[in-house]
Amino acid sequence: MLRRMDTSPLLSIDRATVLRDGRPLLDALTLDIAPGQHTAILGPNGSGKSTLVKLIERRIYPLVHDDGSPVVRVFGRDRWNVAELRSLLGVVSSDLRREFETSSESALNTVLSGFFASMTLGLDHVVDETMLERARQALERVGAAHLADRDVSTLSTGEARRVLIARALVHRPRALLLDEPCAGLDPGTRRRFLDLLRDLAQSGTTLLLVTHHVEEIVPEIEHVVMLRDGRLHAQGGKAQLLDGNALSTLFDWRMDVERHGEFYGTRLR
Ligand SMILES: Nc1ncnc2c1ncn2[C@@H]1O[C@H](COP(=O)(O)OP(=O)(O)OP(=O)(O)O)[C@@H](O)[C@H]1O
């Protein structure tokens, strides 16, 4: 079973449609991401990026197919217990960030709650020494060990982001799904954060990075998916899609693409 899962696509979405008030937020979206394929998911506001994240993390469900065939498979499987899925696919989403803004848990407990796919540590959650050690290591990994005892609601945006990444990392997941992880970070913190993502990618964690900023696409990411109006607008390699014409069409504004070493940037016309 494990061997089969290892070679299965990380993500396989077959004509996913999500409706709200009769309107498609995702419209027959088909998308395949291979194992180990670091991917950036780009799209303008309202293009369906966060909806896609919620679909993958099982917060919302698509319309079912008439023939009963699965719409979303993660690591080759369409049925998951959420805690089990989180152990393989760590998620840092905007919903999760909002939920933790009002939490009164310490950063360490917040990271530990990742073992139980819950928001807080409950009385029925038994934390053993190994978990504690792993949670401390995860905080260390993201440079947040000194925040362990702080109440998460008192952390700055960048500090809280690190704690949420540590929470996603406690299981040492195979992949990380990050929705706008750099929103609200100052330039230095953003660059350090991107270096952390590079480090994770180089040590074998597959990155799925949702963003509207080309500047955040770390060099390890080679595959780009473009969403627009809830549909797959384009997908391909960076050389093909991080191009002035392709990005201008996607974002409806003329822009040029510049290379900054291994990174890309845009200049609006
Ligand atoms: N619960 C909901 N009910 C109705 N419409 C919704 C709901 N959630 C999202 N939408 C709409 O679905 C569309 C896609 O939203 P989504 O949040 O996925 O976009 P996004 O690409 O993540 O945008 P942004 O870059 O602004 O975060 C938007 O038009 C949004 O208004």
Cα of 191 vs centre of ligand 1, distance in Å, is 28
Q: What is the pLDDT of residue 6?
A: 62
To test ligand 1's pocket by mutation, which of 18, 25, 53 has the most ligand atoms within 8 angstroms of CB?
25
> Hey, where are the domains in the chain?
34-58+81-268
ipTM of model over 0.85: yes
Closest ligand 1 atom to residue 52 Cα is 18
Q: Are strands 23-33 and 89-92 parallel, antiparallel or unpaired?
A: unpaired
The residue among 64, 75, 85, 79 whose CA lies nearest residue 15 is 64
Cα of 146 vs centre of ligand 1, distance in Å, is 36
Average pLDDT over all residues of the chain = 91
- How much of the chain exceeds pLDDT 70, in percent? 98
Residues 197-220 have pLDDT tens digits of 999 999 999 999 999 899 999 999
Of all protein residues, the one whose alpha carbon is nearest to atom 13 of ligand 1 is: 46
pLDDT at 5 over 70: no
Residues 21-49 have pLDDT tens digits of 999 999 999 999 999 999 999 999 999 99
pLDDT at 132 over 60: yes
Cα of 49 vs centre of ligand 1, distance in Å, is 8
Q: What is the pLDDT of residue 98?
A: 77
Contact, 176 vs 205, CB < 8 A?
yes
Cα of 51 vs centre of ligand 1, distance in Å, is 6
Q: What is the pLDDT of residue 1?
A: 44
Q: Are strands 175-179 and 89-92 parallel, antiparallel or unpaired?
A: parallel
Q: Which CATH number is associated with domain 34-58+81-268?
A: 3.40.50.300
Output the DSSP codes for the chain. Answer: -HHHHHHS-SEEEEEEEEEETTEEEEEEEEEEE-TT--EEEE--TTSSHHHHHHHHTTSS-PPPPTT---SEEETTBS---HHHHHHHEEEE-HHHHHHHHT---BHHHHHHHGGGTSSS--TT----HHHHHHHHHHHHHTT-GGGTTSBGGGS-HHHHHHHHHHHHHTT--SEEEEESTTTT--HHHHHHHHHHHHHHHHTTPEEEEEES-GGG--TT--EEEEEETTEEEEEEEHHHHSSHHHHHHHHTS-EEEEEETTEEEEEE-
Residue 25 Cβ inside 6 Å of ligand 1? The answer reads yes
Residue 167 Cβ inside 6 Å of ligand 1? The answer reads no
Give the C-alpha separation, 258 to 264, whole Å: 6
Cα of 46 vs centre of ligand 1, distance in Å, is 5
Task: Tokens for 79, please give them.
Answer: 């049925």
Amino acid at site 7 = T
